[in-house]
Amino acid sequence: RDAVARARARGEARAGQALAYFNLVRGELEELCRRAIELVRVDLLPLAQLPESRVFYLKMMGDHERYCAEFDPRGADSGAAQAAKLAYEQASALAEAKLEAAHPIRLGLVLNRAVYLSEVLGERV
Query: Could you report the per-residue pLDDT of 56-82, keeping only the tens digit for each?
Result: 999 999 999 999 999 998 989 999 999
pLDDT given at position 63: 98
Is it the case that residue 4 has pLDDT exceeding 90? no
Measured at the CA of 48, the angle between CA 59 and CA 104, to 5 degrees, comes to 45
Question: CB–CB of 115/66 below 8 Å?
Answer: yes
Q: What's the mean pLDDT in 40-45?
A: 98
Q: Average pLDDT of 104-116?
A: 98
By the 10 Å C-beta count (0-12 exposed, 13-18 middle, 19+ buried), 40 is classed as: buried
Kindly tell me if the per-residue pLDDT of 15 is higher than 70. Answer: yes
